[in-house]
Amino acid sequence: MRIGLFGGSFNPIHLGHLRAAEEDRETLGLDLVYFIPAASPPHKPSDGLAPAEHRLAMVRLGTKGNRHFMVSDAEVRRSGRSYTIDTIHYFLSSTRGHSELFLIMGGDQFAELETWKEAEEITRLANLVVHTRPAEGAGGADQGALAALKRFGYSRLEDYFVNPSGHTLTFVATTFLPVSATLIRRKIAAHQSIRYLVPGDVADYIERHALYQGAR
Ligand code: ATP
């Protein structure tokens, strides 16, 4: 099985996440993509972060109806901070090594990969799938990506990269929807509509639970 792991704070999940994951899945021929909300993301202040159970519930609602999309509460259940390396070990042991893992992330995250706990080990245990915005040309994110490529020993092989462990790195130019969770939280705080930026069920959930009312 080819399994995608897509982690994030999902505060809340939005159509940008969903569309990118769908295109990554298609491009890499993934059987399943697990959306994995972080309990406490190591790289983000917890200020304005909705409780994990709400973010998990919204991810469940947002991915409903796509038979390739699954939701994992592995990070939410784990105590302490959420580290990707622990999640990779969890999936490797729960699938008893019968699965190939593909870690999905945006170009912004890939450029910062070096700062992640046991980053090198991550690149030795999982393939990486990095979806990029078409606009990411010679800009800052691209410089970061180049540095990361070098740092982790990837070399080019056809239209993807491979590292000494044999794991791959593929850049996927997805249809980039310029939506962010920050934008959504700001709109809610400003009493503006978030319809058509998040799945309808997610918008209903946010309203029903009065989430992000005072968010920044
Ligand atoms: P925030 O605005 O709160 O920082 P976010 O919208 O960037 O949140 P995260 O949950 O932090 O969402 O991101 C999870 C993953 O989704 C990251 O790998 C990020 O690069 C990616 N991502 C975020 N927004 C988009 C988007 N519009 N299109 C594609 N990928 C995205």
Q: Which atom of ligand 1 is nearest to the CA of 41?
A: 11
Cα torsion at 35, 38, 43, 45 (round to 10°)?
A: 130
Note the pTM of the prediction, 2 decimals.
0.93
> For residue 8, is it within any domain?
yes
Question: From the CA of 55, how far away is ligand 1's center (Å)?
Answer: 14
* Number of domains present in the structure of the chain: 1
> For residue 197, is it within any domain?
no
> For residue 86, is it within any domain?
yes
> For residue 194, is it within any domain?
no
Q: How far apart are CA 158 and CA 155, in angstroms?
A: 10
> For residue 184, is it within any domain?
no
* pLDDT exceeds cutoff 90 at 18: yes
> Ligand 1: does its nearest atom lie under 6 Å from the Cβ of 54?
no
> For residue 35, is it within any domain?
yes
> For residue 66, is it within any domain?
yes
- The token pair at 76 is 């939410």
Q: Report the pLDDT value the prediction gives residue 135, as an integer from 0 to 100.
A: 57
Q: Report the pLDDT value the prediction gives residue 150, as an integer from 0 to 100.
A: 83
Q: How far apart are CA 161 and CA 127, in angstroms?
A: 10
* pLDDT exceeds cutoff 90 at 134: no
* pLDDT exceeds cutoff 80 at 145: no
How many angstroms separate the first and last alpha carbons of the chain? 40
Where does the pLDDT of residue 143 fall: very low under 50, low under 70, confident under 90, or very high at 90 and above? Answer: low
Where does the pLDDT of residue 139 fall: very low under 50, low under 70, confident under 90, or very high at 90 and above? Answer: very low
> Ligand 1: does its nearest atom lie under 6 Å from the Cβ of 16?
yes
CATH number for the domain that contains residue 142: 3.40.50.620
User: Domain residues for 108?
Assistant: 2-177
